[in-house]
Structure 1
């Protein structure tokens, strides 16, 4: 009778352990579904258009002058290259606009637009003195765009423009137009 009771207790213990482990698996499945739902929600948020009015108040470029209106129209063909057409930006941090040129640049005009093409009512006049050089700013760039930092070690030094966001810039999409100028076009 003692052996039957021990056997019964052993079977009951295994049954309790089995039901407990099944319960944990169910919780993990729920957590996995919740994680996937959160990721899908965040990805959908990143696809939303950031309005031009939000961009206008939430972007800063150190050393640049914010000017009301539209930037001057381009009037020549200065040589410059922007590696890639899409930059990744990070909330509360911003991004870097990386460009290279064989010309001696004196500055750049930058106007921000929502993803539908609506421009802000202001633009930034960024003098060359506000440009950084990728190799000299590698620690700052590492926090914003690690791929750009690695690329800059392989390519000649690029001029970069540090675009900062304040907390009003949400996740989403926007565009910008840039025009560079030299001393003869100022």
Structure 2
């Protein structure tokens, strides 16, 4: 009798395990039924793209530049990604005597009819594409903003933006640099993929934030977290006493809901509470006094998914920020690159992974979400 019971229990256990595996939610293997990502393989007409490119401070010249080869110049990348409206950056290490660059689009049929003359004054240092405000929104890097190609020795950047007529697809460009004596380097060629908006139906849902993992340290939604950047200073008290105190920066993520739509748009609203140091109250009481300030940040824009690298990109086009009772609303006509990085995705969980390098060490921040 015992043997029969053991046998039956074993069968039931196997059956239950089998059912649980069958019932487990799985990602839709056909995650791009509309062929959104296929649009990125379309070869774009270079003259049409060239007419839709804007580079502030550059002039357009008919024909093609003629290299003399008297300047050494090279790039360490041959491919890069761009986004509709937001465009891309051309980043390189400028040689000695650098006075400007020539950029001309090309395809398998040849060169565009004109090229861009970009003087040194129209270039800038390497920075995060469209990052007009480095510390804004949820995905602002904790320490600094880096571009996708930064860290490879590049020190000069050309900001390339697109008009609305530049759609998803591919094209190439040649770039050469020149000096003040009229010398022109040999060209380097780079091919660009303009990402489609959307691209993975498994992401289309409402996602509710549950926790952040900050360099291995877990911070759950609703838990107060005080970062390591506290410092000690002298407080000049109203009583005349000078007292040494430690000031901390602490915050609590109260809620974060992120929505990805099938048309390639997104929206997220981030609500947190900052514990701010109150200098006046601290000087009066002669001890550290903090005041809670609520921040609500809403970001709206477009999302793109790179299926080859499992990368998610968020390009913000408008935002609303309320802090300390004051509300600011902004529109980014050229787009703000809010996030561009790796994700992991299951049927009901999403992890957005942000990586940064600070003082030679990699820092990793993970944002965990459950599907609602």
TM-score calculated relative to the size of structure 1: 0.69
- Cα deviation digits, residues 136-155 of structure 1 (max 9, x gap): 9782598xxx9962652x35
**Match for residue 19 of structure 1?**
none
Q: Does 1:124 align with 2:122?
A: no
Unaligned runs of 5+ in 1: 1-24
Q: Does 1:173 align with 2:173?
A: no
Distance in 2, Cα, partners of 1:148 & 1:132? 14
Select 2:125's aligned residue among 124, 130, 133. 133
> Which secondary structure does the structure 2 equivalent of 1:44 belong to?
helix
Unaligned runs of 5+ in 2: 1-22, 135-140, 184-372
Give every structure 1 segment of 4 or more consecutive aligned residues whose post-TM-superposition deviation is greater than 6 Å.
Answer: none
**Match for residue 6 of structure 2?**
none
Equivalent pair of 2:128/2:147 in contact (CA under 8 Å): no
Counterparts of 1:99-118 in structure 2, within 5 Å, are 99-114=92-107, 116-118=108-110
**Match for residue 96 of structure 1?**
89
Distance in 1, Cα, partners of 2:171 & 2:90? 14
Equivalent pair of 1:83/1:98 in contact (CA under 8 Å): no
**Match for residue 64 of structure 1?**
58
RMSD of the alignment, in Å? 3.1
Distance in 2, Cα, partners of 1:44 & 1:108? 33
- Cα deviation digits, residues 5-50 of structure 1 (max 9, x gap): xxxxxxxxxxxxxxxxxxxx9xx99x93663313xx1221101100
* Residue 67 of structure 1: how far off its partner (Å): 1.0
- Cα deviation digits, residues 84-143 of structure 1 (max 9, x gap): 1111111111111101034221011111113x243211110000000110159782598x
> Which secondary structure does the structure 2 equivalent of 1:54 belong to?
helix
**Match for residue 32 of structure 2?**
36
Q: Does 1:48 align with 2:45?
A: no
1:136/1:62 CA distance change after superposition, 3 Å = same
1:136/1:149 CA distance change after superposition, 3 Å = closer
> Which secondary structure does the structure 2 equivalent of 1:81 belong to?
coil
> Which secondary structure does the structure 2 equivalent of 1:134 belong to?
coil
TM-score calculated relative to the size of structure 2: 0.36
Equivalent pair of 1:141/1:148 in contact (CA under 8 Å): no
* Residue 79 of structure 1: how far off its partner (Å): 2.4
Which structure is higher in strand share? 2
Distance in 2, Cα, partners of 1:126 & 1:181? 10
